[in-house]
Amino acid sequence: MKPRAALPGVLLLGAAAAAAPALAGDYAALQPIGFSADGNVFAFEEYGVQDGSGFPYSTIYVIDTRNDSFLPGAPVRAVSREDGSPLSKARHEARRRAAPLIDAYRLADAPGLLAAYNPITEANAKPLALTYDSFAADEGFRETYSVTLEEKTFEPEGICKDFLKEVKGFRLSMTMKAGKPATDVLQDDSRLPESRRCPTGYQVGGAVTHRNDDGSDTHVIMVLVKSLGFEGTTDGRWIAIPTRIAK
């Protein structure tokens, strides 16, 4: 197969590429950081090693869950471009840069619960659906939620037109809420943000929950975005879709 050119933003240095592992895609790991006490702010980290360049990276996202937007100063990114630099260095630097936001909202005080995790490495995973109990409890006290994701097809724009015949968006719905049928639409793409680059697919990757100080819950559905990466491989990056559950 003829090699494909690298997309803008994908770093390629001859020596670094030669030293990198065999091309297998770059799927970021996920680490929730926490919530503000009122559930209005949520932060998480994604991290890994770039395919091609071999550079370790870490990005910390701090989100206003009320309007699904980044707080000023976020996201916070760190990339270690030194040859042989460990992943821990990039992660430490990202955490250092994000510390003012993390500390201001005391996010480390309320880590929430990773109520479900559906990683790309799970062979039996259902990539477009997830059912979870919002909190750990005896069976009779659990509250069960389900979400489903439907992919949508869009015409590629910009640089994506040179690589793909179509790109993907999604519609995410909550189909069960506290054990009862629901039809809540959490996200329905009408356009694709540039930050997703050239998306080719999605996976419902997990759910993080938090009991807010007013008695309501905040649920954050983590969606893995698969996009065209270095020389035709796939990059996996995370986006968070928040929703508030009144009690």
In sign, the C-alpha dihedral spanning 146, 40, 109, 94 is positive
pLDDT on residue 52: 82
6 within a domain of the structure (yes/no): no
Going by C-alpha positions, the residue among 187, 211, 197, 135 that lies closest to residue 161 is 197
41 within a domain of the structure (yes/no): yes
Q: Scan for tokens 């015409």, then name that residue.
A: 155
Amino acid identity, residue 5? A
Length of the chain: 247
Residue 15 pLDDT > 70, yes or no? no
Q: Cα separation of 188 and 170, whole Å?
A: 6
Identify the band that residue 23 occupies on the pLDDT scale cut at 50, 70 and 90: low
Secondary structure element (H or E) that encloses residue 87, with its range: helix 87-104
% of the chain residues with pLDDT over 70: 91
pLDDT on residue 9: 38
Secondary structure element (H or E) that encloses residue 96, with its range: helix 87-104
Q: What is the mean pLDDT of residues 210-224?
A: 97
Residue 32 pLDDT > 90, yes or no? yes
Instruction: Count the domains in the chain.
Output: 1
| Three-class secondary structure of residue 232 per DSSP | helix
1 within a domain of the structure (yes/no): no
Instruction: Judge contact between 118 and 126, C-beta under 8 A.
Output: yes
107 within a domain of the structure (yes/no): yes
Q: What is the mean pLDDT of residues 104-112?
A: 97
153 within a domain of the structure (yes/no): yes
Instruction: Judge contact between 228 and 236, C-beta under 8 A.
Output: no
5 within a domain of the structure (yes/no): no
pLDDT digits (tens, 9 = 90+) for 140-156: 889 999 999 999 999 99
pLDDT on residue 247: 79
Identify the band that residue 137 occupies on the pLDDT scale cut at 50, 70 and 90: confident
Model-level pTM?
0.89
Q: Cα separation of 43 and 28, whole Å?
A: 16
DSSP 157-222: -GGGGGT-S-EEEEEEEEEEETTEEEEEEEEE-SS--GGG-SEEEEEEEEEEEEE-TTS-EEEEEE
Left (φ > 0), alpha (ψ -120 to 50) or beta: where does 171 sit?
A: beta
pLDDT on residue 170: 98
2 within a domain of the structure (yes/no): no
List, in order, residues 6 or more apart from 72 with CB less than 8 Å away.
none
Range of the domain at 103: 14-245
Residue 105 pLDDT > 50, yes or no? yes
DSSP E strands, 104-166: 113-117, 129-133, 144-154
Residue 225 pLDDT > 90, yes or no? yes
